[in-house]
Structure 1
Amino acid sequence: MSEHAVDQDVTSGTAATGGAAAPARSGRPAQSGGPTRRGRPSLTTRLTRLADALWRPALVLVAIFAAWWFVADREYIANYLIPTPGQVWEKLTSEWDFLLENTMITLYETVLGFVLATVIGIASAVLITYSSTMERSLYPIVLFAQVIPKIAIAPLLGVLLGTGMAPKIVLAVLIAFFPVVVSGVSGLRSTDPELIDLSATMGAGPWKTFRKIRFPNALPHLMSGMKVAVTLAVTGAVVGEFVGASEGLGYVLLLASGNLDSALLFADLILMSIIGIVLFVLVEIAEALLIPWHASRRSGVPLTTA
């Protein structure tokens, strides 16, 4: 029975009983979370999954915070090296405007670098997959570029591109580019050849085959690479700010280290971590929306509980 027919049956049952929905014909008991669409968990189930996914890392964070507070409060390590949580909070609140301004700069560099790395990486993966010439020419260069320590070329980028945002964005692209390319190539090549042959026999051209078969099949691999890339983009932006920058969280980190301001340093590290976690969760949500049908979204308990 189609979903439209089921909806009609429910509507007719409601009218016949004066507003109360008729019982389901399948005989299965109703879930405690209320009616759900086919294949979609109820709100109660999703909240339960979310709680189950979060309590363990929350417990670990509480244990780390307690150990940090205990060591710093008792001064087993000097406070100019390990500040107390109270000192870090005081620094966050007193320097909030300064920290927020620099956080927004690093966030902008990270997001732009990640977007460019994703676009260039997907385009490169398509070229490598569809052209053996491009594979032999481009893939070794991509691998060679990856093994070069990015912090070693940061001063060179500063000399070539100046001290603005450009070298930071380029460094974020260089660091985040490789996981997107590798995962894209792996995903595009994982399509069943028989499925591609079948689409060709049914008259589908290369573009339609790519749009309907190859790219959707590559999305699970590609999203995994993007989750790695978005966290690396934060690292790239911060490393770029180490060289010739006067703004951004990387600059604040150097400033705090030079002044032995451990409270500012810890506050800066916390803000960097928040940027990485938020961007990772956003990519996770995008994955849940784009490939809800994939087995990776049904097995385990992802962050989005979708």
Structure 2
Amino acid sequence: MTARRIAARTVRPLVTLAGLAALWWGVARLGGVPPYLLPAPDAVARTLWAQRGLLADAAGTTLLETVLGLGLGMLGGAALALAMTASGVVRRWMMPLVLLSQAVPVFALAPLLVLWFGFGIASKVVMAVLVIFFPITSSFFDGLRRTPPEWLDLARTMGAAPWRVLVHVRLPAALPAFGSGLRVATAIAPIGAVVGEWVGASSGLGFLMQTANTRFETDLMFAALLVLATMTVLLWWGVDRVLARLLYWVPDSVVD
């Protein structure tokens, strides 16, 4: 990547953010909106600095819940997708349950999860797992079952055992689809953690936003929201970079 492209990738987001901040400032300062409904960017910036310790502690809690949920959901979803690919019995029994899990909004399960797993980190991790389980399972399973037929024919012609076909043919072919599902899961995993914190917690960005809301500290709510958004973007970027390194054989056909 040339220096010009790197500079362009850096400048474009900054210009976009500056434009959004200017629009926000104009609406808040010139639109006559009360500060308790929409604080100005400078007020939120002052709160970010004044409450940096509180926000850092809350972000650390939410990040830990998100990473643990993402890791467990990734392992569980990948294992189930592999099991459904390897066994028709598992696929016939588990696929309806996977689809049924999406019929019940995970947000409605949050109070039950807090009741079952307590107000600690466990209920938030489980919530994050439930949010990301379906996209990882469905994308990886779809990639496994859409292996190019000619690859499978070649493997069978060479006398490869079924487990070798799965490990050496289907799995590499499905990794790009798995990467796409993992990227989606990374972007939505914080939702599960934050919703769990809204229902019952003693720390975390969701708990901080809820507490600030009851006190009409809108500037602190916006500050926590900005920290959450920044954390999610950085987490997604890190996962995307790791996947780009691991899946180096997958070409990127998008031109900047």
Q: Same fold (TM over 0.5)?
A: yes
Give yes or no for contact 1:234–1:275 (8 Å, CA) kept in 2. Answer: no
2:70 counterpart letter in structure 1: F
1:34 aligned residue: none
Give yes or no for contact 1:253–1:265 (8 Å, CA) kept in 2. Answer: yes
2:60 aligned residue: 104
Give yes or no for contact 1:223–1:287 (8 Å, CA) kept in 2. Answer: yes
1:175 counterpart letter in structure 2: V
Give yes or no for contact 2:86–2:166 (8 Å, CA) kept in 1. Answer: no
Give yes or no for contact 1:80–1:260 (8 Å, CA) kept in 2. Answer: yes
1:135-154 mapped onto 2 (5 Å cutoff): 135-154=91-110
- Structure 2: stretches of 5+ with no match in the other structure: none
- Per-residue deviation, 1:48: 2.9
1:62 counterpart letter in structure 2: A
1:238 corresponds to which of 184, 194, 206: 194
Answering whether residue 211 of structure 2 is matched by residue 255 of structure 1, we say yes
Give yes or no for contact 1:113–1:233 (8 Å, CA) kept in 2. Answer: yes
Give yes or no for contact 2:44–2:223 (8 Å, CA) kept in 1. Answer: yes
2:250 counterpart letter in structure 1: H
1:95 corresponds to which of 51, 58, 61: 51
1:167-178 mapped onto 2 (5 Å cutoff): 167-178=123-134
1:209 corresponds to which of 165, 184, 188: 165
In 2: Cα distance, 1:238 partner to 1:50 partner: 33
Cα deviation 1:243-287 (Å, max 9, x = unaligned): 121100010010111111111000000011011101111121122
Q: Which runs of 4+ in 1 moved over 4 A?
A: none
More relative contact order in 1 or in 2 (CA 8 Å, sep 6+)? 2
In 2: Cα distance, 1:49 partner to 1:117 partner: 35
- Per-residue deviation, 1:75: 5.2
2:136 aligned residue: 180
Answering whether residue 229 of structure 2 is matched by residue 299 of structure 1, we say no
- Per-residue deviation, 1:292: 2.1
1:65 counterpart letter in structure 2: A
- Answer 1 or 2: which has greater helix percent: 2
Answering whether residue 184 of structure 2 is matched by residue 228 of structure 1, we say yes
- RMSD over equivalenced CA pairs, Å: 1.6
In 1: Cα distance, 2:100 partner to 2:215 partner: 38
Which has the larger Rg?
1
The TM-score, its normalising length taken from structure 1, stands at 0.80
2:15 aligned residue: 59
2:228 counterpart letter in structure 1: M
1:299 counterpart letter in structure 2: V
Aligned residue pairs total 256
Task: Report the CA distance shift for 1:100/1:85 in structure 2 as closer, same or farther (over 3 A).
Answer: same
Cα deviation 1:165-198 (Å, max 9, x = unaligned): 1110000000011100111011111112231231
2:88 counterpart letter in structure 1: S
1:221 counterpart letter in structure 2: A
In 2: Cα distance, 1:277 partner to 1:209 partner: 37
The TM-score, its normalising length taken from structure 2, stands at 0.94
Give yes or no for contact 1:103–1:249 (8 Å, CA) kept in 2. Answer: yes
